Amino acid sequence: MKATAFAPVNVAAIKYWGKADADLRLPANSSLSVNLTNLGTTTTVEWDKNLTADIADNRMVEHLDRVREIAKFNLKARVETKNNFPASVGLSSSASGMAALTLAATAAANLKLKTKDLSRLARLASGSACRSIPDGWVEWVKGNDKTSYSKTIFPTNHWDLRILVVILSQEKKKVSSTAGQKMAFTSPFYKARVAAIPAKITKIKQAIAKKNFSLLGQIMEEDCLNMHAVMLTQRPPLVYWLPETVRVMQAVRQWRRQGLESYFTVNTGQNVFVFCRPRDEVRLTARLRRLEGVKEVRRDQIGSGAKLL
Ligand code: PMV
């Protein structure tokens, strides 16, 4: 009873920050993301009758318990997992990690769950993990326990965009997303952010449908800064940026004014995702690599959701 799955990192254009229910990991607002092709986690799960305890870290054991409950057995598992990028630095390793674990553990248990049920299960392990299950452009509708899952809203090949992953530092964040989200409600801007999300989602979907890159980028960048405004003003405040993070943001905006169009977004960490059109990818990568403090730029594109290998 063994299976291996790959799940991609997903990058949210409309972010999730704050929960309506922490135990069920129900978000305060819906969110919208794309999966990447290259960046991701590969996980192998083997349910083994000879094991007396799981060989996995604590957060994974909690998730294996959920799978055991669905499978109605009490077997223990051996889990091997590998990210092909640095973890805990704002590149969404918990999303790809928990999505890969969900698919590998259920497949190894011979449970053939539908995409929506896999997504719902992944949500319980890490909210944003539910967006790494379906393909391409994904919306996570906030919903209730049964209806809160992600689905594809535009397929992987709908629009060929490039995402540059700008790695500035591999220093691990001091406050996890899970811990940080708990205090989101203390920001005076939090309620206003949540209230404005439905209109933003409607608008960004229109931008994606019409392949309007400028509008997509503008909404995405604004939403990133809006979420960080909440983080910066919560109690205690969360400052995930480094000076280098701001340098990349400023450069992207300056190059844009000069005609090289790209847009940034940042999660809970110092590193930056930059969206651009295929024709600008090489030029933009070269410029980003020359910026002071940039350690590495990985080129990526829009990809499928979690898959069995
Ligand atoms: O799923 P979590 O608890 O790792 O939260 C992810 C939150 C952000 O990455 C900051 C935003 C998002 O929607 O991906």
Residue 82 pLDDT > 90: yes
What are the backbone dihedrals phi and psi of residue 138, each rounded to the nearest 5 degrees, phi first? -130, 140
Shared-domain flag, residues 8 and 151: yes
CATH number of the domain bearing residue 18: 3.30.230.10
**Whole domain around residue 256: which residue ranges?**
162-301
Of 109, 135, 158, the domain-final residue = 158
Do both 180 and 139 map to the same domain?
A: no
**Helices (H), ranges, 23-112:** 58-71, 93-108
Q: How far is the CA of 178 from the centre of ligand 1 (A)?
A: 8
Nearest CA to ligand 1 atom 5: 177
How many angstroms separate the CA atoms of 47 and 146, rounded? 27
Which residues contact ligand 1 via a Cβ below 6 A?
12, 15-17, 31, 92, 94, 126-128, 177-178, 181, 267-268
pLDDT tens, position by position, 158-173: 999 999 999 999 889 9
Question: pLDDT tens digit string along 109-160?
Answer: 999 999 999 999 999 999 999 999 999 999 999 999 999 999 999 999 999 9
Q: Give the model's pLDDT for residue 239.
A: 97
| Cα 58 to ligand 1 centroid, rounded to whole Å | 20
DSSP states along 287-305? HHHHSTT--EEEEEEB---
Residue at 256 is within a domain: yes
Last residue of a domain, which of 136, 158, 180? 158
Nearest Cα neighbor of 180 from 262, 243, 240 is 240
Please write the tens of the pLDDT for every residue from 266-282: 999 999 999 999 999 99
> CA distances (Å), 219 to each of 95, 100, 178, 215, 273, in order?
22, 29, 25, 6, 15
* Domain co-membership, 25 together with 143: yes
> Residue 284's domain is classified under what CATH number?
3.30.70.890
Q: What is the distance in A from the centroid of ligand 1 to the CA of 273?
A: 14
**Would residue 308 count as lying in a domain?**
no
> Domain check: are 265 and 281 in the same one?
yes
pTM, whole model, 2 decimals?
A: 0.97
Centroid of ligand 1 to alpha carbon of 55 (angstroms) = 26
